[in-house]
Amino acid sequence: MEEQLIYDRIDRYLSGQMTPEEGQAFEAEVKADPTLAAEVVLQTQARHAARASAKDALKAQLMQELKDIKPAAPVRQHPFTRVHMVAAAVIILLIVGPLLYQALQPDKMSGEELYAEVFDPQITATRGDTSSTSISLQQALAPATQGDFAASISRLERLVADTAFTQKSKAYLSLGITYLQAEQPEKALESFQKVGVKSYYYSEANWYTALAYMKLGDRGNAYFTLKDIEMVQSHPYQQQAAYVLKRMK
């Protein structure tokens, strides 16, 4: 019973029968549940295959109908003959088919819209960290929690310039995210690029780099960065990257 309910919900989602609120709640479940996400992909593929099969069958039937039509006897015919009907059916198929296909696809969004939906300034890797360096970062980030991004940027820049401060990658990641909050994606990219490749924070910097490109409207670099993330099954943002790629215009 529960399995049937899941299939029914997926069917309603793919058919566009959910309300906007239901759709958003369902998408949140898909992002959090790899098994559900895999089932959505399978049902989407099945729908595409069924549409393609039905379309091919209809085309074959129409072609056979055309072959079976014999020349009419030299008598007065109704203006709308069988040939006209078959031709009209072909035209309808060509017009309606693509529209139905588009209707069953998930809504596409611009990079700016997707950025606004998925951007989260909280650094996952720092949650629960009570080290002295983390406390210094928390103090530097405190003004940003009140909307004073300029003050946090100034404090973070002093931290990364401090030779005694050892957690530079964490600070650069925090600085880049704060630049994004301050609507300065170019500066954010510069900071993310300074996060060490072998650093514990590199994966997050990779994700936020893609978001910075989206914010800049650089679809090409955003796409390739997200593709790199999606291809790594163990990447903490693999599912989010796949979701954005699916929705990206």
Residue 2 has pLDDT above 80, yes or no: no
Identify the pLDDT of residue 204. 92
Burial 21-52 (b: 16+ CB within 10 A, else e): eebeebbeebeeeeebbebbeebbeeeeeeee
Identify the pLDDT of residue 128. 44
Domains of the chain (ranges; CATH) run 2-103 (no CATH), 111-247 (1.25.40.10)
Identify the pLDDT of residue 208. 94
DSSP 8-state class, residue 75: S
Nearest Cα to 30, choosing from 18, 15, 13, 16?
13
Averaged over 188-204, what is the pLDDT?
A: 92
Q: Given the structure tokens 């992909």, which residue do they identify? A: 41
- Higher-pLDDT residue of 88 and 134 is 134
Residue 190 has pLDDT above 90, yes or no: yes
Residue 161 has pLDDT above 90, yes or no: yes
Strand-pair partners of 248: 109
pLDDT for 70-84, tens place per residue? 555 555 555 555 555
Residue 126 has pLDDT above 50, yes or no: no
Residue 214 has pLDDT above 80, yes or no: yes
Averaged pLDDT score across all residues of the chain: 78
φ/ψ (deg, to 5) at 109: -130, 155
- What is the pTM for the complete model shown? 0.56
State the alpha helices, DSSP H only, in the chain: 2-14, 20-32, 34-68, 82-103, 111-118, 132-145, 149-161, 168-181, 185-192, 202-216, 219-230, 238-247
Identify the pLDDT of residue 187. 96
User: Which one of 15-19, 21-25, 106-110, 154-158 scores highest in mean pLDDT?
Assistant: 154-158
Residue 247 in tokens: 């929705």
Q: How far apart are CA 6 and CA 115, in angstroms?
A: 29
- Higher-pLDDT residue of 114 and 212 is 212
